Amino acid sequence: MEKRFNKMKQVYLESYGCQMNLADSELVMGVLAKAGYFPSDSPQSADVILVNTCAVREHAEEKVLGRIAELNRFKLKKPELVLGVLGCMAKHLGKVIAERAPYVDLVVSPDGYRRLPELIGQSGDKPYLDLRLDRTELYEEIDPVRKEGVNAWVTIMRGCDKFCTFCIVPYVRGRERCVPPDEILRQVRNLAEEGYKEVTFLGQTVNAYRYNGTDFADLLHLVSGVEGIERIRFTSPHPSDFSEKDIETIANLKKVCNHLHLPVQSGSDKVLKRMRRTYTSGEYLDLVGLIRDKIPDVGLTTDIIVGFCGETEEDFQATLALVRKVRYDSAFMFKYSPRSQTVAYRKFEDDVPEKEKGRRLEELIHIQESISREVNQTWIGKRVEVLVEGESKKDMSQFYGKTDNFKTVVFPRNGEKPGDLVEVEVVNSTSHTLLGRRV
């Protein structure tokens, strides 16, 4: 491989998708920092432009293809600039990208980031495709370049073994593997020393964590002992992977936050079965009951898909009934988007018309919004502990932060600083935010 003389040092990295992918971007910057690259805030001044992509819905991929074409303008002005596409869509559509955007230099899947410095420096046939998955890659010993703030992400597992029939993740991020507890502890201790107050454990099915004898609850215990870290969060768990021990642990450990993101996807047993979600709506509701029993005031959020293959009006009504029963604090809601490679794409018909998917989504959002509003109103008059994160984007005289159960609270600033834990009385609310004053 012929090496190009490497004077290129400024990297502009743009990221899309879930927290797991955003955390991967921090890892990419960690790999590149070690090789002498510096982050750049704008594509104009960069020598390397990287786009870290998402493949979970078609819309995300289309957006990125458009964006890559836009970024090519900088390459036209500066031909030596290296343009790379990383992440889930790189893995999913590597060959399509090579055809539709032949000016791209690199296409690298989520397990290929260690090789980035070498790939950026090489010349040869373009684009260079590195689409391999590596069952063992955990990026141990690489310290991510994290965003500043009070919270740091820590990836504790990669990949997924669940193969829900709608989901592309197992195909683009590979099989489940867990980071050893010692490495996680090393990272969390370093973060505490750097001044972070909160860590969020990330994994596609984070509560399936298991490494030799250490399970998810054991890991929470271990990390709870790290001085300086005040709060521990995690996302996303899979409902079927919760043990009673996990729930007891979350309930009993003070630092582990009382918020669970519990993706339900559908309220219809027929649809859940076709999605291969491994629980029924009844089992899911029992779990919610157990969680609410053990963890009073727990914040519950979820993901829901409408218009999955074969979803009838009756199935959709079952989803609405479940949403009304659980009364989530908030939810991410999506129209089903067929993804090639998945079982649903290969075996089931995408038979709910686009317009009907849209109608169902609108109705669901409308109902969930009013539930969120009502749930938030029940907090008015109560006192909550808030971890201050920073200045409100809309109003510099206000600070915002989160409660233990993941509510965003905005309040007039009064001498506190990001990272402080303060007591706030809730005086008003919207469907997304609590408004408060210091007490």
Residue 278 is a binding residue for ligand 5AD (CB under 6 A): no
Structure tokens at 428: 């008003």
For residue 305, the partner it binds in ligand SF4, ligand 5AD, none, with Cβ less than 5 to 8 A by kind, is: ligand 5AD
Residues ≥6 apart with Cβ < 8 Å to 347: 165
Number of residues that bind ligand 5AD (CB under 6 A): 13
Residue 272 is a binding residue for ligand SF4 (CB under 6 A): no
For residue 57, the partner it binds in ligand SF4, ligand 5AD, none, with Cβ less than 5 to 8 A by kind, is: ligand 5AD
For residue 170, the partner it binds in ligand SF4, ligand 5AD, none, with Cβ less than 5 to 8 A by kind, is: ligand SF4
Residue 336 is a binding residue for ligand 5AD (CB under 6 A): yes
For residue 407, the partner it binds in ligand 5AD, ligand SF4, none, with Cβ less than 5 to 8 A by kind, is: none
Of the pair 13, 169, the CB lying nearest ligand 5AD is at: 169
Cα-based distances in Å from 428 to 73, 299, 397: 47, 18, 17
Residue 425's nearest CA partner among 406, 405, 403 is: 403
- Min. distance of Cβ 17 from ligand 5AD in angstroms? 9
d(CA 225, CA 218): 11
Say if residues 407 and 377 touch (Cβ distance below 8 Å): no
**Bridge partners of 152?**
199
159: left (phi over 0), alpha (psi -120 to 50) or beta: left
- Min. distance of Cβ 62 from ligand SF4 in angstroms? 20
d(CA 13, CA 77): 19
Shortest Cβ contact with ligand 5AD: which residue?
A: 303
d(CA 190, CA 167): 34
Residue 16 is a binding residue for ligand 5AD (CB under 6 A): no
Residue 433 is a binding residue for ligand 5AD (CB under 6 A): no
List 31, 57, 156, 329, residue binding ligand 5AD (CB under 6 A): 57
Say if residues 14 and 52 touch (Cβ distance below 8 Å): yes
Binding mask 202-241 for ligand SF4 (x = CB under 6 A): --xx--------------------------------x---
Of the pair 83, 206, the CB lying nearest ligand 5AD is at: 206
List 166, 201, 399, 411, residue binding ligand 5AD (CB under 6 A): 166
Whether residue 236 has a cis bond before it, omega within 30° of 0? yes
For residue 205, the partner it binds in ligand SF4, ligand 5AD, none, with Cβ less than 5 to 8 A by kind, is: ligand SF4
Helix axes 313-326, 281-294, angle to 10 degrees: 10
Say if residues 53 and 20 touch (Cβ distance below 8 Å): no
Residue 286's nearest CA partner among 264, 308, 303, 270 is: 264
- Min. distance of Cβ 190 from ligand SF4 in angstroms? 28
Residue 332 is a binding residue for ligand SF4 (CB under 6 A): no
Q: What burial class does residue 222 get, using C-beta atoms within 10 Å of its C-beta: 0-12 exposed, 13-18 middle, 19+ buried? A: middle
List 27, 32, 51, 56, residue binding ligand 5AD (CB under 6 A): 56
Which positions touch ligand 5AD (CB under 6 A)?
Answer: 18, 56-57, 166-167, 263, 265, 303, 305, 334, 336-337, 339
Which positions touch ligand SF4 (CB under 6 A)?
Answer: 160, 162-164, 167, 169-170, 204-205, 238
